[in-house]
Structure 1
Amino acid sequence: MATIRFLAPDTDAYVSSVQRHIGEFEARSGHRADLRIIGSDEYFSNRIEPYLAGEDAADVYMSGPVLLWEQMASGLVEPLDDYVASAGAEYRFDDFIDGLIRANRWSGRFGDPLGNGPLLEIPVNCESYNLVYVPSILERCGVEVPSTWEEYFAAAGKISANAGSGVRGFGQRGVQVWHTVYTGFATQLWSCGAADFDRSRRCAIASPEAVEATEAFIRSLKRAGPRDWTNQRWYELALDCANGKYGLLVDSDHYVAFFENPEFSSLVGRVGYALPPAGPSGLRKPNLWTWSVVMNSRSRNKRAAWDFVEWATGREFLLRSVFEGNMNPTRLSIWDDPEFIRYTSTWGNFYDVSRRLVEELGSVLVTPVTNYLQVADRWTRALRDAYLGVDPVRGALQKAASDIDAMVAG
């Protein structure tokens, strides 16, 4: 029997479920588990390599697209195809949603799309980016649920002007971290016909389409976004939205675990959910993210590490965890589970919207490259510079695009 070291962030519901039920794994497997939970800011910055190297390295850890690509380049990811093939019949790997598995396969080469190459991690929750709205705020301000980004920003302005003190038009992440561009902003940008790189793999964030979309975004942020946008983190954003401080939000659909939990929300049962807005041509391109379980290639106990992965990504564990806040499911059988359907039945259109996002519309939009954290950080800095008036939008994006081309060329 072995000691399995598991590394994870401290604000994730899945991780809380692992902590809550780890005794079950130890009893069933005979292994001992050593859980190492660190702050989410440190984790999202991907400064975790010291925990994944050396004599005391974690055997299994949490990751996701963008973070994973850098970890792969550092030799910290064990391909999982052979382990999956050895799993027991009850594991049912084909129960995972196809698009989520594709999002976690990659060759490691810039320019190669996701879906090709080895299986790098197994998804345990996922998010795409829906439109959340507070019907009572919209009604008070005479605003319809927006179906396009132009309507969204116009509605946000009207809400900010008419909803009263303490309520802004729309929520949006804004701190100097990569996921500021990855979530709602990326969904807007791609839906408006823009992208991060073009077909020749040149940075395209200063293309005419990208500049136009970004200008609309920055204008509306100043008019109707968070007053402290450059300090807006995801966790506080979710809590603020759950308590009526914004009329609209395009961000993670797994925030439902906050919105529909009376421990965090004053709006339980009174939140609306819809598909994210479409761009001017009718294009709707929601981005996608998965929190997933990775085996460290430097683990000294890989067979025992797989025992942990098989338990922690099995249907039994993942079904139980959704009722403990681990949204959204990554297995089809959990979406189909009658108890889960009943559990979500009072959440308006959440179930139908989020299932369509994860199965049909959502995909990892950003171009995979092993240093995408640097790319996204530079892009985020350009947005913040434009917002703060350091540079006009076009100039900020042109400078960033030039820097990003140099980053990926190196």
Structure 2
Amino acid sequence: MNNYRKRWLGTGTAVMLAAALLAGCGSNTNNTVSDPSKSASPPASAAKPFEGKTINLVTANHPWGDAIKPLLPEFEAATGMKVNVQGYFEDQLTQKLTVQFTAGSETPDVFMYRPLQEGKLFYKNGWVQALDEYVNKDTEYDFADFSKSAVGTATVDGKIAGIPIITEQEILYYRKDLLEQAGIPVPKTIDELVAAAKQLHDPGKEMYGFVARGQRSPLVTQVSSFLYSEGGDFLNGDKAAINTPEAVKAFTTYGTLLKDYGPPGVLNMSWPQAFGIFGQGKVAFLTDANSLYKNLTDKEKSQVADKVGFAAFPAGAGGSKPYNITSWGLAINTRSVDKDAAWEFIKWATSKEIVLKTQEKGNPGARSSVWDNPQGTTGFPPELVTVIKESVKGGIDHDRPTVINVGEARDAVGEIVQKVITGETDIQAVADKANEALQGVIDKDLNK
């Protein structure tokens, strides 16, 4: 019997015992025999306080959704609650939620969302229920077990807007064989990465030193770790900060790596293209999200599956500070008619027991205890587990500007890097202009 079901049955037994004691202590002023048909005994469903309740869950078409669905029958059996599930592709999901919430819909009760992409917008519009009053109600839930950075990602204006279910960090992927043949140690600093990429770059033989996202918007999340590691950030309070010396250095380094040591066509590359060319055996180094590692270790997708190494993000002037974020979380619709039932589901889905089960399927969760449990790391290469644990320690809780209009903000940042890639010489001027654009986005937020 699983722990969750044990807790519910234990609760139900206590309820029935208390009811029996109350019935036994009650006075009978008429001294008449009680009618057995009118017994005060609780119904058989007393162990299931949510008997007859139904909640609607909307998920992204994501491996986490695939992992949680087979586990739902045990939750339904333990609580008496019915969970209806619908799944959508990412963009369809955002569109559906926006339409329903704008219309004031009471459904879905619980939904997957991307805290850094739409979290602030959803919260500011009053569509997301703050969960502060729920997370510490049950001591066994142990909210302190969640990574601080992952929780920070899902926090808006000091309020917990969602619970992390999928986390990711930016790491360094590298070709073990190439470094060994050249006698190059795994880079531990950004300067060492640049030097190694230069040494291994041999375009005449279709071997490139470095690859990463070069598309204007997609690159922003991955340049963020360069920015933090150089001591910068996108914002400093309510002020845009993408034209500071630290920011200009970070953007220039990232753009120069792609310009001087990247493969042809980097301006049009998002993660599928970057991982694709690395998997073809044509690149020495790649920086991107750890959650995408199977694209390189799956022999059906990668020609170098047995030659891929993983390392912590290299340090800059500010140290090694990769993003450590919640890429997907669970939230409650503020208009849900039964928020307690909705929370009961989230509490179960993000419990230590269930996170262990979903993480075994390769879904990187946010609970420290699960990462410390050998069973919780079986779905990941041992070398990657070590890197993840190291990355969590100094991770930053965002990978893009934390504003409502994320699209405009990403375009402003991406413009700077793309100008570096295309050979623009006065990057400071580009950064100053982009900083003004980002400040305009921030000011719109402040005036709402």
TM over 0.5: yes
Residues 11-58 of structure 1 show CA distances to partners (whole Å, capped at 9, x for unaligned) of: x32122124434444444433333332223555x77841244433632
**Alpha-carbon contact 1:271-1:348 (below 8 Å) kept:** no
Residues 140-187 of structure 1 show CA distances to partners (whole Å, capped at 9, x for unaligned) of: 45543222212212322333316932x43223123343x52122x111
Task: Look up the match of 1:337.
Answer: 373
**Alpha-carbon contact 1:127-1:288 (below 8 Å) kept:** yes
1:303 Cα deviation from its structure 2 partner: 2.1
Alignment of 1:181-330 (within 5 A): 181-183=220-222, 185-198=223-236, 201-238=238-275, 240-242=277-279, 244-262=281-299, 264-279=301-316, 281=317, 283-290=319-326, 291-327=328-364, 329-330=365-366
Task: Look up the match of 1:78.
Answer: 129
Query: Which residue, 145, 166, 171 being the options, matches 1:125?
Result: 166
**Alpha-carbon contact 2:213-2:269 (below 8 Å) kept:** yes
**Alpha-carbon contact 2:129-2:332 (below 8 Å) kept:** yes
1:124 & 1:294 partners in 2: Cα distance?
10
Extract unaligned runs of 5+ from structure 1: 108-116
Task: Look up the match of 2:176.
Answer: 135
SS at match of 2:155: coil
1:27 & 1:320 partners in 2: Cα distance?
18
Alpha carbons of 1:381 and 1:30: their partners in 2 closer, same or farther (altered >3 Å)? farther
Alpha carbons of 1:139 and 1:265: their partners in 2 closer, same or farther (altered >3 Å)? same
**Alpha-carbon contact 1:226-1:232 (below 8 Å) kept:** no
SS at match of 1:349: helix
Alpha carbons of 1:374 and 1:29: their partners in 2 closer, same or farther (altered >3 Å)? farther
AA partner of residue 91 (structure 1): Y
Give % identity: 27
Task: Look up the match of 2:37.
Answer: none
1:323 & 1:163 partners in 2: Cα distance?
43
Task: Look up the match of 1:36.
Answer: 86
Q: Which protein has the larger Cα radius of gyration, Structure 1 or Structure 2?
A: 2
Task: Look up the match of 2:148.
Answer: 98
2:283 & 2:92 partners in 1: Cα distance?
27
User: Larger helix proportion, structure 1 or 2?
Assistant: 2
**Residue 401 (structure 2) pairs with residue 361 (structure 1):** no
2:298 & 2:287 partners in 1: Cα distance?
19
**Alpha-carbon contact 1:141-1:162 (below 8 Å) kept:** no
1:46 & 1:148 partners in 2: Cα distance?
41
1:85 & 1:282 partners in 2: Cα distance?
35
AA partner of residue 181 (structure 1): V
2:233 & 2:109 partners in 1: Cα distance?
36
Cα RMSD of the aligned pairs, angstroms, is 2.9
AA partner of residue 244 (structure 1): G
